[in-house]
Structure 1
């Protein structure tokens, strides 16, 4: 509330010791409400002026406290009616209960937009799992502001990645920034399911139903609102999280994630040995070597065994020259 011009003039009148006119009661009440003047303790009908800077500072601080309290109440509003929202989501327009409420969202842009909406209404916790290795740098760049905003709103965040991301520069930078801001990140060298869990009440899952629409298959997700299904996904996520290893963004060479057997295969490949020769040298079946090679390609990021063998041989030659 701003101070009226009449109140300003009356304040100056009191400041210079001029008696207050009998018809100035309304304006005087404005000054009293502001706290710019107080009744004289010894002289009836007289008033003492106070320092406007001190009064304004006190009013500002009081206003900021009220604003902070209002923001806190506003933030808690979605949680306050969460039980009613759940009931609404699970009842059809005709009044019949809907079991297994699910949204179907297709297309990367639509998916990102819907997830952003869900994250914006999340109040306590976000849990995610990314099983397919490093995400593209541009995807991480788009996700970072949204993720940081959630952390700054006091939302706890736990993220699970495949171990191979530890050798990816953009993902390492993302993890380093996020863990500094309070997020927790783990990696797991075992298969797990991609998902996002929001406040333990909603889950975003991949849609693996056969694609029957026109044109190429778009990226598709299911947004599950049924709490029973969400709890099922949550239990699987917690199991995988418990198996993971804490990561704070340290970037490691991809080769450090290989097993001893895989390193031995890598050394033989670097010499130009074929798959059959590697199997004989290590006392393994060709099928076992083939399975190990598939895993090595995934970890090291190669499209084919030929490409991987060539690159490993090139590295070995360079190391000999240096």
Structure 2
């Protein structure tokens, strides 16, 4: 099989080839024996053509370039068509591989570390054919995690896979979440939030489930995930997902406010957004610096962020979302 990463070579015209083209355009004639390598390059690029009577004849670069561009576009279209057919061509083998993997690893696979977990998740999701159910209880997602998930999830949606995701209510304040949700829902995903405790899990085609193992391997500092290769367990978890889904709220519900804030908390957030110094902000709110530090720390936990800057950004996004909802 040809290397799947093979692409047409970059178009580079050597100095010798340019010099030959310039000379032939100015003086006419034919390439000398020393110029044969340059002549072959020009010929391969369509800048020289063979004429039975005249030998090599110059070709208009605009015409030659247009033909070459058309050829590349044709190749690109063919490669895209072939790429789109890969999933269907490989699909009959997925069940065989998954069965083999399950037999080799047992009913439950253990994967340690974000890289290993991401690799296995990519494998599983690339073979998904009908449905992905996700529960994401965290209040905040790292930008790099969002980017990785977007690439993977959009590929599944383009294949016609149905995708439903439940986030915790506090995720509405996460930096970049509104943009990510807009992108995913436009592609066909359905996203909701739930103001209650629920467990993180992924259910793929109701036959495979992925659950976290951190609470089991408490002596490990790395993330741990378990892949459960059992349709019965996956179906059981899917029923739990459906119950949570019925209680959840669509992300784009205009009447949904992500957080309830006290007057003091709102004043602190406005001060942080304005860049007010801690001393001045404490004086404005009427509290001590120590009390202000505690209040800011509580707000960070409330919004699921780590810095005052992220807190101010979340507050700004929340205000914008509320303004859009009222309009």
What TM bracket, shorter-length normalisation?
A: 0.5 to 0.7
Change beyond 3 A, Cα 1:195–1:220: same
Does the 8 Å CA contact 1:127/1:196 hold for their aligned counterparts?
A: yes
For 1:192 and 1:3, how far apart are their aligned partners in 2? Answer: 61
For 1:200 and 1:13, how far apart are their aligned partners in 2? Answer: 70
| Aligned-residue RMSD, C-alpha | 4.7
Alignment partner for residue 165 of structure 1, among 167, 170, 180?
170
For 1:64 and 1:200, how far apart are their aligned partners in 2? Answer: 40
**Which segments of 5 or more consecutive residues in structure 1 lack a partner in the other structure?**
257-300, 302-322
In structure 1, the residue matched to 2:22 is 12
Change beyond 3 A, Cα 1:243–1:102: same
Alignment partner for residue 107 of structure 2, among 90, 101, 104?
101
In structure 2, the residue matched to 1:175 is 177
How high is the TM-score relative to the length of structure 2? 0.52
Q: CA deviation at 1:160?
A: 0.7
In structure 1, the residue matched to 2:248 is 244
For 2:214 and 2:21, how far apart are their aligned partners in 1? Answer: 74
User: Residues 11-50 of structure 1 correspond to what in structure 2 (within 5 A)?
Assistant: 11-16=21-26, 18-20=28-30, 30-38=41-49, 44-50=53-59
Does the 8 Å CA contact 1:90/1:99 hold for their aligned counterparts?
A: no
Using the TM superposition, name which of 7-16 and 17-26 deviates more.
17-26
Q: CA deviation at 1:87?
A: 2.2
Change beyond 3 A, Cα 1:79–1:100: farther
Secondary structure at the counterpart of residue 252 of structure 1: coil
**Which segments of 5 or more consecutive residues in structure 2 lack a partner in the other structure?**
1-8, 262-301, 303-327
Does the 8 Å CA contact 1:175/1:185 hold for their aligned counterparts?
A: no
Please state if 1:187 is matched with 2:193.
Answer: yes
Change beyond 3 A, Cα 1:21–1:98: closer
How high is the TM-score relative to the length of structure 1? 0.52
Alignment partner for residue 223 of structure 1, among 223, 227, 248?
227
Deviation string 1:228-287 (CA, Å, 9 cap, x unpaired) is: 64455446535643553311386616459xxxxxxxxxxxxxxxxxxxxxxxxxxxxxxx
In structure 2, the residue matched to 1:204 is 210
- When Rg is computed on C-alpha atoms for both structures, the one with the higher figure is 1
